[in-house]
């Protein structure tokens, strides 16, 4: 698979087969992603990958936090804060596509909540990764984190795997800090659920699409 195909094929996948990925393959992918570029080669990323019992314990703890009504405590500002105009519209369109595919009505708060909670159940994926960087770092280092994330997602795609990047996985970080070795002074920026896609799941059947190129890029000569 070439890069063009990997970029085209990658989609956020929200239902997975109950089939773990071989640990050697997971390690190989994270090894390859180490070649991602970063500002002054600072490589700000640190990742904890949870599988098996560790994954299940974390899911249980985070879902318990949410259902207890505990307020979310993300360290970095969530990406949907202060969205206006076309950005807000795209956010709404994205939610409409997701709820529409699942036949969930806007007013059905219960169903929407259940779908939301699936974020912390890793959408049924057998593996999840939590990406942190030092709290003292800023936007330029967040760029490094995004580049690194895309490297991993494309490598997963190349290997027949799927993933879903999730800002939601930064919202209840306490359990992750308690149960794993997120370095002192780091904060979680986002997470990634991954595994083998359940291709026939309805939730994996929609495509949010993209704007015309001219909306995003202007060429001068």
Ligand X SMILES: Cc1cc2nc3c(=O)[nH]c(=O)nc-3n(C[C@H](O)[C@H](O)[C@H](O)COP(=O)(O)O)c2cc1C
Q: Which residues bind ligand X (CB under 6 A)?
A: 11-12, 79, 94, 119, 164-168, 190, 208
Q: Among residues 164 and 182, whose Cβ is nearest to ligand X?
A: 164
Shortest spacing between CB 220 and ligand X, in angstroms: 28
Q: How many CB atoms lie within 10 A of CB 176?
A: 21
Q: How far is the CB of 66 from ligand X (least distance, A)?
A: 13
Shortest Å, Cβ 79 to ligand X: 6
What minimum distance in Å lies between the beta carbon of 165 and ligand X?
4
Nearer to ligand X, 20 or 167 (CB): 167
Task: Return the structure tokens found at 144.
Answer: 């490094």
Three-state SS annotation for the chain: CCHHHHHHHCCECCCECCCCCCHHHHHHHHHHHCCCCCHHHCCCCEEEEEEHHHHHHHHHHHHHHHHCCCCCCCCCCCCCCCCCHHHHHHHHHHHHHHHHHCCCCCCCHHHHHHHHHHHHHHHHCCEEEEEEEECCCCHHHHHHHHHHHHHHHHHHHHCCCEEEEEHHHHCCCHHHHHHCCCCCCEEEEEEEEEECECCCCHHHCCCCCCCCHHHHCCCCC
Q: Which is nearer to ligand X, 49 or 169 (CB)?
A: 169
Shortest Å, Cβ 221 to ligand X = 31
Task: For the CB of residue 88, give the shortest distance to ligand X in the complex, in Å.
Answer: 14
């Amino acid at each position: 698979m070439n890069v063009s195909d990997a970029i085209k094929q990658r989609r956020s996948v929200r239902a997975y087969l109950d089939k773990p990925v071989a640990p050697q393959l997971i390690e190989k992918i994270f090894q390859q992603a180490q070649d991602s570029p970063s500002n002054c080669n600072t490589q700000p990323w640190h990742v904890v990958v949870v599988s098996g019992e560790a994954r299940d314990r974390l899911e249980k703890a985070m879902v318990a936090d949410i259902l207890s009504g505990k307020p979310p405590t993300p360290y970095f500002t969530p990406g949907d804060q202060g969205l206006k105009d076309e950005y807000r519209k795209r956010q709404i369109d994205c939610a409409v596509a997701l709820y529409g595919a699942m036949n969930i009505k806007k007013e059905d708060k219960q169903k929407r909540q259940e779908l939301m909670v699936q974020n912390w159940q890793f959408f049924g994926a057998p593996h999840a990764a939590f990406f942190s960087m030092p709290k003292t770092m800023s936007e330029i280092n967040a760029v490094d984190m995004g580049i690194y994330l895309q490297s991993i997602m494309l490598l997963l795609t190349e290997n027949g795997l799927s993933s879903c990047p999730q800002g939601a996985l930064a919202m209840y970080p306490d359990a992750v800090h308690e149960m794993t070795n997120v370095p002192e002074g780091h904060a979680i920026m986002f997470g990634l659920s991954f595994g083998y896609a359940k291709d026939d799941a309805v939730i994996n059947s929609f495509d949010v699409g993209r704007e015309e190129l001219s909306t995003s890029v202007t060429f001068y000569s």
